Chains A and B, each alone.
Chain A
Amino acid sequence: MNLLTALAIGILFAAGIYQILRRNVIRAAIGLVLLSNAVNLFLFSAGAYNGQSAAYSAAAAQISDPLPQALVLTAIVISMGGFAFVLSLLYVISTRYKTSDSDEVKGLKN
């Protein structure tokens, strides 16, 4: 199972990277979300325990590591905010430059 999980996260990551490298900025934005998903899962794997039960006090079985969970929780919300901001940038780019091709968008001036 560990190997499969690792491979799945790797594939998710690779898909994100590949999308980010597209010229189409919409694809790049999609890649960003894929990447943040992959990174969150990767952070989960940094948890120290093989959890049998959710992280609640006085649980009967071994709890899952609460620390990465708390970090990922924060990460999800922040990447959501960042993602929304990227999308609005994307809109600005497409209206200003009349293109969604990142190769055509060079320099910060008009």
Chain B
Amino acid sequence: MQDFFLALPLLLLAAGTLTALAFLRSGWSASRLGWFLSLFPFSSFLLVLYAFTLVPSGKALTFSMPWIPTLGLNFSLYLDGLSALFALLITGIGTLVVIYAGQYFGGDVSAWRFHAYTLLFMLAMLGLVLAGDLITLFLFWEGTSVSSFLLIAYKFKDEAARKGAFKSLFITGGGGIAMLAGFLFVISLSGGADFKTILSSGGILRTSPLYPVFFTLIAFGAFTKSAQFPAHIWLPEAMTAPTPASAFLHSATMVKAGVYLLARLNPALGQTDLWFWTLSIVGLTTMLVGAYLGFKQNDLKPLLAYSTISQLGVLVALIGQDTEIAFKALVIGILAHALYKSALFMSAGIIDHETGTRDIRQLGGLRKQMPLMFGIMGTAALSMAGLPPLFGFLAKETLLASATHPSLPPIVDSLFPLTTVLAGALLLAQAALAVWGVFLGKPANEKHPPHGHDPNFAFWLAPAIPALISLLIGLTPVEPRFLVDFLADAAKAAYGDKVKVSLALWTGINVPLILSMVAVTLGSLLFWQRGRIRLWMTNFLPNFTANALFDGTMSGLDALSRTATRLQGGRLRVYIRIMLMSMIALILLFNGTPAGLSLPQLEWGVDGLNGLRMFSLVMLTASALVSVFVRRDLYAVIALGITGLGVAVWMALEPSPDVALVQLMVDILATVILILSLSLIPRKLRDRANELLHSRRGMARDALLAGLTGLVVAGLTFTALNTRPRESVVSPFYAENAKPLTGAKDIVGAIVVDFRGMDTLMEILVFSLAGLGIYTLLHYATRKGGDHTREEAEQLLKANSPHGIFSLPTSPMLHTLAYIMLPLSFMLGITHMMYGHDQPGDGFTAGVIISLAIAQWYMLFGYYETRRKLAWLNRNNMIAAGLTLAVLNALGGAVFGGGFFSPVDYGKMLGLPLPPGFYLTNSFLFEVSIALSVMGAATLILDNLGHPREEDLEADADLAALEEKP
């Protein structure tokens, strides 16, 4: 249970986020809300502190619960010295930031949004450092990217804010994906995602031939997150965030996530040459570039942002080293930087808030107006400059000590101290620049000196606390035991071995102290000559922004997506070609050539049914080819009908009489419908379409593609046919159980209406919907709101189209035939339904047979005549009745038979006298409902396609217009 304790800080922050959202319409001012909401991070802070006291020294507290057990994924948490250091910083500074943000937004009642984002971000960040395995860590890692996006783009009406937010999301998100890939390597190599497993399998990981791959991927993720050169460009632009967010994200938390990850994985992945060189080079470069660029800035926030980049470079370089002192410097550096940088950011926010500007060129001389802020910011700046007696001094001393450590390789043993001293000097100059520019010195414009005064208690309290701690740690004569142990614990977790930490400022005169003095002198010189140097830097020295790289990547991606969308140019034929080519490629890739293809297997004998089979094949191939090559579309349609007949013959020879029958009926109906709809399209339009030409090359390409596809299909079919007979898992079950379970001799019929009744129910639903869809399309979509009202149009059409299809007069003999066919079709259909379970034929066949007779009426008498003569034929009611009966019937199975669609013999149940061979079962009722809905939908289709168009009245004008078109 005490392990579950670990999840509580996270749950508290989640609750805090939700609470902030709940204040959506409360009308609470930001400051009131800030005080209230700070309770959540503060109790989180206390909980982490308490949990840490439970951790046995040098060990870890873990919590794990199954998340996706089938994938072996757990949601796990892990608390040791390193995560505790970060967790306390996050919740501690988080508490201050929430209070501070409340003051910053003052009476703003819509700042609940900012509070909610902050708490959400805090949740993600805390989860990141408490995560107990790589997957959980990744989850929270992405959470910080997304929530920081929201914070940076808080002032979303500002374009710079949106751009900055996007840039940070793009860079850190891209790094996150690379990192995930690296994690997957690590997980599969070490055999587990949790840190215990990974940290103990360092040997396997470091010697793996894949080490460079996953190291690069993970380092890429960490470097982008921690703003290492050249991915540092997002951090200055993220300064468009409101200052409380910058103070939190960009001092103590988000940018440290990469540092945390590297420190966390150091015992498993570190201590290799690649690790050392990569981290050192990247870290030192970043340190120098950040310090250098920071010195050029005039705006306080970018100035602080660049110094943060520089500090992050220091931390990364330290992790690269394999010495005890480096990790001592690391933990001290993390703590010192978090303290002074959050104080500085918050002070910058206050100055901006009180005076209305952050530009040091317009500020100056505020010492008297804002004495308190001068004290706070001055203290923090001293710590940043690394001057005694501040904590920052200690951080710089240990850093210099590790930079001059004798274990460094000879090539860089002078480079390390040199860059460190240079960066230290630049940072000192920056700190001085900030304090001088704001509080001392003279404002650039003497006539308009900045106005401001110290803010109220709550506002200055937030930066005062970290500044004060920086001072106290440096000043206390006795080392605070708990802090020393705590830092030693954190360093040990990162180093993998015991680290001795001391917080004494004075360690005697040694190399680091001398170097430190050099740095201070150099920094003072830089500050003294700041005007000249800064001018020179701005005008002549390079800017070191990798924005060109970023912009290049972005425009490259844009170009790529443009190419991708060019493929989707709206030409359906191009899509089809691409799909076909992919299909052919995939099949050829995975399937190879058909099995058992050899010529001796060719049987030319026409004995038995083979003659008939060959006849059907010739019929269907010949007519299919005719439909391709014939010019007029009407002939092509007729050829198509013949193809369908050939298919029906082939099916009958399979032998499968049921399917053959349905195919026959449907083929006829499809042909009728096709002809009907052709008759709707103006003749001129069709003629023009028939004349459409394709380039010779295009035709050849299409023929080649079609031929290849045909070959692939032929190959598949041949393989399937040639491997007959095969073992079937399903079919024998149907064959054996059709009679005993459903009482039907016809196995196919039993499958359709009983075993897979649900399929069939859906199928008639689809068919009915197709009918209704056509009704909607033709009834409404094509109406032209033209010169006539609906009624007028109807009258006109009635008067103008007395004849059948194609408006041609039809013979009286055919009329008589139609009169006879309709009742006959009903008789035939009913017989099919009654005896379908033992013989070929079923509800579909019945429905289509009747529909065909009706189609004949439409063809011969035309729309109005048919509607008048067959007024009883209400297609909508038929569809409704069919579907309702089908569902009720299935439910009847549930009531009387024990399950949805279970077979029930109502005739037997009620003891009705029925003709032999006919059973009043629910299968029969299902057949009836199928027939009803098919009939209804088919009639609906015929009805709508056969309905004369309002447009026909205007067709003459349209055609005239068409003629003029080239």
A residues near B (Cβ < 8 Å) are 1-27, 29-30, 33-34, 37-38, 40-42, 44-58, 62-67, 69-70, 72-74, 76-78, 80-85, 87-92, 94-96, 98-103, 106-107
Known: A8-B620, A63-B747, A95-B782. A18 touches B702 (CB 8 A): yes
Q: Digitize B187-210: 1 where CB-to-A-CB distance is under 8 Å, 0 elsewhere.
A: 000000000000000000000000
Known: A15-B628, A26-B633, A44-B656. A76 touches B663 (CB 8 A): yes
Nearest-CB residue, chain B, relative to A34: B624
Is the C-beta of B367 less than 8 angstroms from some C-beta in chain A? no
Nearest-CB residue, chain B, relative to A9: B717
Known: A24-B633, A55-B746, A90-B681. 18 other contacts (CB 8 A): A8-B620, A11-B625, A13-B714, A14-B707, A23-B689, A40-B663, A48-B728, A63-B735, A67-B728, A69-B654, A73-B752, A77-B934, A85-B770, A85-B773, A91-B782, A94-B685, A98-B962, A100-B692
**Chain A residues with CB under 8 A of B945:** 84, 87-88, 91
Interface centre among A5, A42, A56, A96 (most CB of B within 10 A): A56
**Chain B residues with CB under 8 A of A23:** 573, 689, 692, 694
Is the C-beta of B521 less than 8 angstroms from some C-beta in chain A? no
Distance of A5 Cα from B702 Cα, bound (Å): 23
Interface centre among A9, A51, A96 (most CB of B within 10 A): A9
Interface members, chain B 344-381 (any A CB < 8 Å): none
**Chain A residues with CB under 8 A of B715:** 6, 10
Known: A73-B659, A74-B752, A84-B770. A33 touches B677 (CB 8 A): no
Interface members, chain B 639-682 (any A CB < 8 Å): 640, 643-644, 647, 650-651, 654-659, 662-663, 666, 669-670, 673-674, 677-678, 680-682
Minimum CB–CB distance for B312 against chain A, Å: 50
Can you list 27 A-B contacts with CB-CB less than 8 angstroms, sorted by A residue number? A3-B718, A4-B602, A5-B717, A6-B721, A10-B711, A11-B625, A11-B710, A14-B707, A14-B710, A21-B705, A27-B633, A30-B633, A33-B674, A54-B658, A58-B745, A69-B658, A69-B748, A70-B756, A73-B659, A81-B767, A81-B771, A87-B677, A88-B677, A88-B941, A88-B945, A92-B782, A99-B689
Nearest-CB residue, chain A, relative to B736: A57
**Chain A residues with CB under 8 A of B655:** 51-54, 64
Contact assessment for B724 and A21 in the assembled complex, using a CB-CB cutoff below 8 Å:
no
Minimum CB–CB distance for A54 against chain B, Å: 5
Minimum CB–CB distance for B750 against chain A, Å: 8
Minimum CB–CB distance for A4 against chain B, Å: 6
Partner of B767, one of A27, A41, A55, A80: A80
Contact assessment for A48 and B694 in the assembled complex, using a CB-CB cutoff below 8 Å:
no
Partner of A73, one of B601, B625, B731, B748: B748
Contact assessment for A67 and B751 in the assembled complex, using a CB-CB cutoff below 8 Å:
yes
Nearest-CB residue, chain B, relative to A39: B713
Contact assessment for B751 and A66 in the assembled complex, using a CB-CB cutoff below 8 Å:
yes
Distance of A77 Cα from B716 Cα, bound (Å): 25
Minimum CB–CB distance for B883 against chain A, Å: 14
Minimum CB–CB distance for A67 against chain B, Å: 5
Is the C-beta of B621 less than 8 angstroms from some C-beta in chain A? yes
Is the C-beta of B405 less than 8 angstroms from some C-beta in chain A? no
Top-6 shortest CB links A-B: A10-B714, A14-B710, A81-B770, A100-B689, A6-B718, A48-B728
Contact assessment for B681 and A21 in the assembled complex, using a CB-CB cutoff below 8 Å:
no
Q: Is chain A's interface secondary structure helix, strand, loop, or mixed overall? A: helix
**Chain B residues with CB under 8 A of A45:** 717, 720-721
Contact assessment for B576 and A3 in the assembled complex, using a CB-CB cutoff below 8 Å:
no
Contact assessment for A18 and B628 in the assembled complex, using a CB-CB cutoff below 8 Å:
yes
Contact assessment for A3 and B602 in the assembled complex, using a CB-CB cutoff below 8 Å:
yes
Is the C-beta of B475 less than 8 angstroms from some C-beta in chain A? no
Distance of A20 Cα from B570 Cα, bound (Å): 16
Interface members, chain B 745-776 (any A CB < 8 Å): 745-748, 751-752, 756, 759-760, 763-764, 766-767, 769-771, 773-774
Minimum CB–CB distance for B922 against chain A, Å: 18
Known: A56-B746, A69-B659, A78-B763. A15 touches B706 (CB 8 A): yes
Interface members, chain B 914-936 (any A CB < 8 Å): 934
Nearest-CB residue, chain A, relative to B722: A2
Is the C-beta of B937 less than 8 angstroms from some C-beta in chain A? yes
Nearest-CB residue, chain B, relative to A23: B692
Interface centre among B658, B731, B766 (most CB of A within 10 A): B731
Distance of A20 Cα from B575 Cα, bound (Å): 11
Contact assessment for B747 and A56 in the assembled complex, using a CB-CB cutoff below 8 Å:
yes
Contact assessment for B621 and A82 in the assembled complex, using a CB-CB cutoff below 8 Å:
no
Nearest-CB residue, chain A, relative to B838: A56
Known: A9-B717, A15-B628, A88-B778. A30 touches B640 (CB 8 A): yes
Contact assessment for A4 and B614 in the assembled complex, using a CB-CB cutoff below 8 Å:
yes
Partner of A98, one of B673, B712, B958: B958
Contact assessment for A58 and B571 in the assembled complex, using a CB-CB cutoff below 8 Å:
no
Distance of A25 Cα from B573 Cα, bound (Å): 11
Interface centre among A30, A70, A87 (most CB of B within 10 A): A70
Is the C-beta of B734 less than 8 angstroms from some C-beta in chain A? yes
